[in-house]
Structure formats: C-alpha cells, structure tokens
A and B are shown apart, each in its own frame.
Chain A
Amino acid sequence: MPTLTAAKKSPRLAARSGRPAPELIFGDLWEFDPAPESADPKLKARYELFIDGKFVAPKGGKYFDSINPANEQKLAEIALAGPADVDAAYAAARRAYDGGWGKMPGRERAKYLYRIARLLQDRAREFAVAETLDGGKPIKESRDFDVPMAAAHFFYHAGWADKLDYVAPGRKVAPLGVVGQVIPWNFPLLMCAWKLAPALAMGNTVVLKPAETTSITALKLAEIFQDAGLPPGVVNFVTGAGEVGAAVMNHATPAKIAFTGSTEVGKIIMRGLAGTDKKMTMELGGKAANIVFDDAPLDQAVEGIVNGIFFNQGHVCCAGSRLLVQESVAGKVLAKLKNRIRTLRVGDPLDKNTDIGAINSREQLDKITALVAAGVKEGGGMFQSPCTLPTKGFYFRPTLFSGVSMSSTVAREEIFGPVLSILTFRTVDEAIEKANNTAYGLSAGVWTDKGSRILKMSTELKAGVVWANTYNKFDPTSPFGGYKESGFGREGGRQGLLDYCKLV
C-alpha cells in the first residue's frame, strides 16, 4: 500500500505549541502606480432630451446635475423632462411606428441595428470612460463587459430581424407598436441595449427613460442613432427621476411597458397599470443563493463567490448575495474568502487596476450602510477588507457576514452593494429549501464536482438563471428573468423577442 507521509504540523498543533497561526502578508511591498484610462469621454456640458431624432430642450427649461460618484464632481447637466415632453416623445414614437418602422422589412431594420452595433464598437473606449465616470463602475468592467456586451445585444438582435418568422414556429409575429421602457442605474448602457435591441428588431418604437444618476451613455447612444441614420422618433429618450418614469409608464400611448428596477417600484407600476390592456415585463430585485457543496473545487468557488457579489460593487440584481456553504467546508471557504478579498483593489474607478469602484450614489451608500448596521446589530459576524478608501466619493469596503440565519435582515433584504451574507447547510434538501426561502427568484449558483447534483439543483431551484460552477455569465442568446417577486418576462434569446411581439 502506498503510504502518505502526514503533514509535519497541523495548525492545531502549531496553536497548541503557542506559535501564532501562519498568515499571508498582502502589504505594499509592490504597490502599483496609478494607471488611469486616458481616453476622452467626449462629454457635453449639457444634455438635452432626445425626441424625434433631435436633441431638444425640455419645455419646462429645467436641468439637473449628473455627478461623478468617485469624486462627487459635476459631470454635466441633464434635461428634466415634464409631462409635455413625455407627450411629445410618445407622439414622435407613434409617428415613427405608423410612418414605416413597423412595416419596414426586417432585413432593412437589421441594417440599422448592425450599424449601431459597429458604431458603438468604434467608440468603445470613449463609451467605457463615460460609463465609468457617470456610474462609478471600474473601467475594466465597462471596457471588458458593459460596452462589448451592449454591442453584442445589437448584433444578436440585428441577426434576428430578418428571421422573425422563426421566432414562434408555425405562427406569424407582429410588433406591438409603441413601447415605454424604464431602466436602472447599475448597467446604464447595457440595460439600454437589452431593452432597445429586441424592441427595435421586432419593429416597435420606443420611449425610454434612463436612471437619473446615469443618463449620459444613453444620450451618447442617441448620438450614434443620429450617425446611423435611424429614422426620427424610433427611439426617444426622456430624462429625469421617478415622476418622469411614472409619466412614461402610465402614459396612454404604449402598448407595452418594460421595467427593470426595484421590486418596490415594480409593484407601484403594476398597480398603476392594473385594468389596462398593456403588456408588461418586469425585471426586479433578487437575493440569489450561491450554493457551495463540499466536493466543489474550493478556490474556483471562491473566485465565483467574489465575482458573484463584488462584480459592479454588488449593484447587480442577480448578485450572489447569499452564500450557502456546506457546513463541512464552511470554515475553509470563509478563510479563503477573507484572504481573497484582502487582495481586491478598491478605489478610483478609472484606474485600470481597480476591482471595486464607487457606489453609484450617496442615497445607495446610505442604504447599504444602514442595512450593514442592522446586520451588525442582529449579531452577524462582520469582516471587512482593511483596504484604504479614497477620502472623497462614495465607497464601501467589501464586506462579509458570517453566521447569518435565514431570519436576518442581511439574508432577506436586497442590499445591492458589496455585502455577502454567509449561511450554512447540511444536506442537498436543506440547501434547496434555504435557497428557495425568499421572495425573490432571479438567479442562483451551484458549485459541485457532481454533474447529477447540478441537474437536480437546477430543476429544484426556483430561479430564472442557475449557474453551475460559474457565476454572472451573460449572453444575448440566453433568456434572463425572474420567478416570484423578481418579476416576469424574459430578456435575451428567442424568449426575449416573444415579449416584444404579438402572435397573429
């Protein structure tokens, strides 16, 4: 029999002999110099509304500031739309639909979408810097994820536009007409692309409201629409806060409304639309379980956990914010996680080495701070990365809560920040029950070496997306959407197109 020579000293032995437990040093021996991305974002001092193919001043003459959350400095003024502007936008969308976009052969619409995608690629660096300045996300994410993925959505749906006869086999499809859309601040450009590309490919025209803290890249995208020669009124952008969103959602014109944002606001919108014949899709909050079994490759699981919760500062509706880890490996996983988050670089979002950027707004920072305080008060064991934070701007340390129970605030409420709650389980059934014991059902992750278990879990988990041995992977071909209070309707893939058409 082969014999294995045992390790020379276990940590328990080391502890018993009075020596401190071995630790890794993540210090400043090799500190990286600043490496800021230098591309010009080509920002205007003032952004108008985009209605009927033109940039127009708001009828009320009011503007609000868009600031850079990384340093709280003003970036640009954004037009504040009033009800009359929303009326004008819908009127333009109606004219564009009746005037030809809806009847245009799909292969012609495809040409516009391809052109938009290519123009976006041409200006990718400029858009990445603008997105980072406006929203606070690290440049490596806007450069490597947001902008390329936005272009990918236009490319993918351009491909569908002349193949709409195959979206619903055996049936013909027709556009719905005018569509109203409201999008959130966590992926401003990408959400724009998610919403616009399928709507346009199918032949609808759109009135869209970006989030008030992140309107800039949508309005830069409007410049691309002009350059692409997109017919006036096919896409209209109205900017402002909640009351503008309400005006877009509750307007009489749209045949369908699509919303991505919080569950709370989603419910208000649904109440407002009750009794109308409007179609709706809602992509709302989440509190996803990321489930790690004891046979998982632990170091890669830790990478997936980190990517799951710290991607985009945790401002992700499908973030893996509840870690469910099998009791037998819980200590090991927690120790590995602590070491891993010590090496995350928090700071200037424009620095190419930054892993975690700025929180999107003071309001969101306050919300995260309050929920974390509640977590501490309820007795969760908190660990935060000891990193230094910039003195100006909105930042929050990567945070872990261990020993969390299902009833804790931090295990139930969507925090939408870089905060991970760690719970344990013993058996597969317990993992499934805990994962499903939430009002949400947008996404989940499963980490195991056992293929059959992945299949069982993906069947039993009530979540729109289940990632196996990976997390936060997106593709235009893959439908995305929720169960329960995470919403309904799908975006992406053939299923996403079906939500923008009627069967005839």
Chain B
Amino acid sequence: MLARSPQAALQRLFDEVGSVDQVGIEERVAKYGTRSIKKGAKIWGLKTAVSMVDLTTLEGKDTPGKVASLCQKALQPHDAELGVPQVAAVCVYPAMVKHARKALGSDTAVRIASVATAFPSGQAPLKTRLAEVKAAVADGADEIDMVINRGAFLAGEFGEVQDEIAAVVTACGDATLKVILEVSELETYDNIRAASFLAMRVIRPGDFIKTSTGKTSLNATLGNNQVMLEAIRDFYLDTGIPIAMKPAGGIRTAKQALTFLVAVKETLGDAWLNNNRYRFGASSLLNDLVRQLEKEKTGAYQAPYYFSEAAESY
C-alpha cells in the first residue's frame, strides 16, 4: 500500500529529478536584480521583451470590440517612429479567438493564443476540455495555453497528469502548446521542478511550460521562473529537446522584465533569448516597456496618456 501512496510517488519523482533549496535559489535570483542594464543593452532588452509579450485579456467582460483594440495594440504597440516591434501574440479566451482572427487577419506575424481546457481551474471533464482545445484551434488559434490537473498532481497521480497533457498535445494538431503548471497551487519549488519534468516529457520541442494563469494570489516570480529555467536546461542537456518558457502574471514593469531576461541569459543562454523560446504573459507590461524605450530616446519620461495607459483602453 505504501508504495502506491501519493507520498511515495512524489518521493520517487523527486529522487529522479532532484530537489531545490528555497533559500539558495532565492539568493541566486536576487543577484539578477543587481545587474545594471544600460544604454544599448537596455534598448535591446526592452525591444526583445516587447517582442516576447503575449498581450493578454482574460476577463468575463471581454467583448469583440475589446479584443479588436487589443489586436491593434499588438500589431502596433506605439507610433512607428520609435521602432517598437510587434508583440509575439495576443492571448484570449476561446470564445474570442474568432474575433481576434478577424481583427488580425490571416497574414500576420502576431499569433493568437487561447487559454483552453476549462481555464483557469481545469475542473471540467477531460472530454469537455479537449473539445474546447479543438474548437479554439478550428477558430484560428495558433497556440493553446492549457492548465494541468493540479488535483491529480498533488494526489500523486502523475500518469493521469501526463496522459491528459498528451491528449491535449494531440488535440492541438499543429498549434503550439503551453502547459500552465499554476505554481501557486503546487506551492513548493520541489513540486514545480517535478511538474516541469512531467510536462516536458510529453510535449514537443518548442512547446512551452508556463508558470501561472494569473488568476491566483501568486504568479510568476523570479524564483519559480528560475526553477523552471533550470528544469528546461537540465532536460535539454539530457535529451537535446528544447522546451520554451512563459512566466505569466505579476510582471508589470520593464525593470522586472529585464531582470527575468537576465535570468534567461545566464541560465539558458542566447538560444532562449527570442520569442520562440521565451514569452511574457502580461497586459500592463507592454506600456511600461514602450515608456522606457521612449525615455531612452528622448531622455525624459512622457506623460502616461501618451501610451494608452490602462490595459482597459488599448
């Protein structure tokens, strides 16, 4: 009986993938914040961060009109003079995918991501969740952000967790998959590392693991970002399979985004410093990035109303 208990299953998984020391990793990530990014390096970092944004609206009150303005912002984050790149993707609920496709058109580099699988809780029958994925892809989604079954993970039912992810991979077809671990519900760094490995073993090269839904109390932090980057690194060096990463929720300022990028640079290296391998799930971040780019150009901070400030009014 003991061998079948959730604790035993977790223990076996931890033994296999190794553990994480909380104090040590938080000390490590605190050092990223002391990197001083100036001048050309700052501009490169800010523009790269813009190109990595999954511009997101996930609200009950989303409308086709709101999604259309979000898409416009994604295509042109600021007036053309500043040379701000387009964002990587817009991220919307499945019901909004067709409106986003209409707003963006079919001939665009901006991708459409959709949070399928009964986001954010994932508490719907698997059949329902898979149907949602297929519907979003059929409506024109290029990327699917799924949530893992945290209940099954915490109960030690890893086979179930992985089988469900594998089923979503199949349902995605050609669409890229992002697997949301919902780190705040896994609670410990050990769990985050273990869940990262469970997901990476069944997804495809270029698919993502993602921190959070943005719908719980704690979202992306440098600490859980680092745990996942290190898991991706270890998995890549072991198998040659590159997995991409997306921190989401809570990254609001350009300074934060640059610090996350420093973590990428110093953990995974240059090959991950692009939007195929790294994304930010964010809404208000984009305007702060643009504001900082404007400041680098003019030497002064512009008034907020130059940047269509609130995410509400894109």
Interface residues on A, range: 35 or more
Tell me if A18 counts as interface (CB < 8 A to partner B): no
Tell me if A27 counts as interface (CB < 8 A to partner B): yes
**B23 and A470 contacting across the interface, CB-CB below 8 Å:** yes
Residues of B within 8 A of A32 (CB): 35-38, 41
- What's the Cα separation between A297 and B4 when bound, in Å? 25
- What's the Cα separation between A349 and B137 when bound, in Å? 53
Q: Quick one: closest B residue to A342, CB to CB?
A: B269
Tell me if A407 counts as interface (CB < 8 A to partner B): no
- Over the window 9-34 of chain B, the binary record of Cβ atoms lying under 8 Å from chain A Cβ atoms (1 yes, 0 no) is 10001001011110111011000001
Tell me if A250 counts as interface (CB < 8 A to partner B): no
- Over the window 460-504 of chain A, the binary record of Cβ atoms lying under 8 Å from chain B Cβ atoms (1 yes, 0 no) is 000000000110000000000000000000000000000000000
**A335 and B162 contacting across the interface, CB-CB below 8 Å:** no
Q: Given the known A-B contacts A9-B239, A14-B240, A335-B237, are A30 and B36 also in contact in the complex, defined by CB atoms under 8 Å? A: no
Tell me if B159 counts as interface (CB < 8 A to partner A): yes
**A30 and B269 contacting across the interface, CB-CB below 8 Å:** no
- What's the Cα separation between A303 and B160 when bound, in Å? 35
Tell me if A140 counts as interface (CB < 8 A to partner B): yes
Q: Quick one: closest B residue to A469, CB to CB?
A: B21
Tell which of B20, B24, B35 has the most Cβ of chain A within 10 Å.
Answer: B24
**A470 and B24 contacting across the interface, CB-CB below 8 Å:** yes
**A30 and B261 contacting across the interface, CB-CB below 8 Å:** yes
Q: Given the known A-B contacts A25-B269, A343-B266, are A300 and B261 also in contact in the complex, defined by CB atoms under 8 Å? A: no
- What's the Cα separation between A301 and B16 when bound, in Å? 17
Residues of B within 8 A of A7 (CB): 201, 235, 238-239
* Closest-CB distance, B307 to chain A (whole angstroms): 25
Interface residues of A in 1-17 (CB under 8 A from B): 1-11, 14
**B271 and A25 contacting across the interface, CB-CB below 8 Å:** yes
Q: Given the known A-B contacts A30-B45, A30-B265, A32-B41, are A9 and B28 also in contact in the complex, defined by CB atoms under 8 Å? A: no
Among A8, A27, A343, which residue has its beta carbon within 8 angstroms of that of B241? A8
* Closest-CB distance, B162 to chain A (whole angstroms): 6
- Over the window 46-80 of chain A, the binary record of Cβ atoms lying under 8 Å from chain B Cβ atoms (1 yes, 0 no) is 00000000000000000000000000000000000
Residues of B within 8 A of A33 (CB): 37-42
**A352 and B261 contacting across the interface, CB-CB below 8 Å:** no
Q: Given the known A-B contacts A11-B237, A30-B265, are A297 and B160 also in contact in the complex, defined by CB atoms under 8 Å? A: no
Tell me if A298 counts as interface (CB < 8 A to partner B): yes
Give the number of A-B contacts (CB < 8 Å).
129
Interface residues of B in 269-285 (CB under 8 A from A): 269-271, 273
Tell me if B230 counts as interface (CB < 8 A to partner A): yes
* Closest-CB distance, A452 to chain B (whole angstroms): 17
Residues of A within 8 A of B20 (CB): 297, 299-300
- What's the Cα separation between A282 and B54 when bound, in Å? 60
- What's the Cα separation between A33 and B237 when bound, in Å? 30
- What's the Cα separation between A34 and B132 when bound, in Å? 50
- What's the Cα separation between A353 and B36 when bound, in Å? 6
Residues of B within 8 A of A455 (CB): none
Residues of A within 8 A of B41 (CB): 30-33
Tell me if A449 counts as interface (CB < 8 A to partner B): yes
Among B21, B40, B162, B261, which residue has its beta carbon within 8 angstroms of that of A297? B21
Q: Quick one: closest B residue to A343, CB to CB?
A: B266
* Closest-CB distance, A58 to chain B (whole angstroms): 41
Tell me if B309 counts as interface (CB < 8 A to partner A): no
Among B19, B38, B198, B266, which residue has its beta carbon within 8 angstroms of that of A449? B19
**A9 and B273 contacting across the interface, CB-CB below 8 Å:** no
Among A6, A11, A29, A295, which residue has its beta carbon within 8 angstroms of that of B201? A6
**B270 and A25 contacting across the interface, CB-CB below 8 Å:** yes
Q: Quick one: closest A residue to B12, CB to CB?
A: A4
**A30 and B270 contacting across the interface, CB-CB below 8 Å:** yes
Residues of B within 8 A of A42 (CB): none
Tell me if B268 counts as interface (CB < 8 A to partner A): yes
Residues of B within 8 A of A304 (CB): 24
* Closest-CB distance, A413 to chain B (whole angstroms): 30
Residues of A within 8 A of B28 (CB): 299-300, 303
**B241 and A9 contacting across the interface, CB-CB below 8 Å:** yes
Q: Given the known A-B contacts A32-B35, A353-B35, are A9 and B240 also in contact in the complex, defined by CB atoms under 8 Å? A: yes
- What's the Cα separation between A449 and B190 when bound, in Å? 12
Residues of B within 8 A of A353 (CB): 35-36
Q: Given the known A-B contacts A26-B270, A352-B36, are A10 and B238 also in contact in the complex, defined by CB atoms under 8 Å? A: yes
**B34 and A22 contacting across the interface, CB-CB below 8 Å:** no
- What's the Cα separation between A3 and B156 when bound, in Å? 11
Among A8, A30, A298, which residue has its beta carbon within 8 angstroms of that of B239? A8
**A297 and B19 contacting across the interface, CB-CB below 8 Å:** yes
Among A25, A30, A470, which residue has its beta carbon within 8 angstroms of that of B48? A30
Among B35, B42, B201, which residue has its beta carbon within 8 angstroms of that of A4? B201
- What's the Cα separation between A353 and B42 when bound, in Å? 14
Residues of A within 8 A of B252 (CB): none
Q: Given the known A-B contacts A303-B28, A353-B35, are A2 and B18 also in contact in the complex, defined by CB atoms under 8 Å? A: no
Tell me if B139 counts as interface (CB < 8 A to partner A): no
* Closest-CB distance, A8 to chain B (whole angstroms): 6
Residues of A within 8 A of B9 (CB): 2
**B201 and A30 contacting across the interface, CB-CB below 8 Å:** no
Tell me if B68 counts as interface (CB < 8 A to partner A): no
Q: Quick one: closest A residue to B230, CB to CB?
A: A299
- What's the Cα separation between A353 and B265 when bound, in Å? 14
**A469 and B23 contacting across the interface, CB-CB below 8 Å:** yes
- What's the Cα separation between A19 and B166 when bound, in Å? 27
Among B158, B166, B235, B238, which residue has its beta carbon within 8 angstroms of that of A2? B158
- What's the Cα separation between A303 and B35 when bound, in Å? 17
Tell me if A35 counts as interface (CB < 8 A to partner B): yes
**A298 and B4 contacting across the interface, CB-CB below 8 Å:** no
Tell me if B103 counts as interface (CB < 8 A to partner A): no
- What's the Cα separation between A460 and B230 when bound, in Å? 34
Among A19, A25, A34, A140, which residue has its beta carbon within 8 angstroms of that of B34? A140
Tell me if A24 counts as interface (CB < 8 A to partner B): yes
- What's the Cα separation between A44 and B24 when bound, in Å? 41
- What's the Cα separation between A34 and B268 when bound, in Å? 23
Residues of B within 8 A of A352 (CB): 34-36
**A299 and B25 contacting across the interface, CB-CB below 8 Å:** yes
Residues of A within 8 A of B301 (CB): none
* Closest-CB distance, B51 to chain A (whole angstroms): 13
**A35 and B238 contacting across the interface, CB-CB below 8 Å:** no
Interface residues of A in 299-321 (CB under 8 A from B): 299-301, 303-304
**B38 and A35 contacting across the interface, CB-CB below 8 Å:** yes
* Closest-CB distance, B254 to chain A (whole angstroms): 15
Residues of B within 8 A of A295 (CB): 19
- What's the Cα separation between A30 and B213 when bound, in Å? 29
Residues of A within 8 A of B157 (CB): 2
Residues of B within 8 A of A343 (CB): 265-266
Known: A4-B162, A449-B19. 12 other contacts (CB 8 A): A5-B201, A7-B201, A19-B240, A22-B237, A25-B269, A30-B44, A30-B261, A30-B265, A33-B41, A299-B24, A304-B24, A352-B34
Q: Can you list 30 A-B contacts with CB-CB less than 8 angstroms, sorted by A residue number?
A: A4-B13, A4-B16, A4-B162, A5-B166, A5-B202, A7-B238, A19-B240, A22-B237, A24-B233, A24-B237, A24-B269, A25-B270, A25-B271, A27-B269, A30-B48, A30-B270, A32-B41, A35-B37, A140-B34, A297-B18, A297-B20, A297-B21, A299-B20, A299-B28, A300-B24, A300-B25, A343-B266, A352-B36, A353-B35, A470-B24
4 interchain residue pairs of minimum CB distance: A300-B24, A35-B36, A2-B159, A29-B270
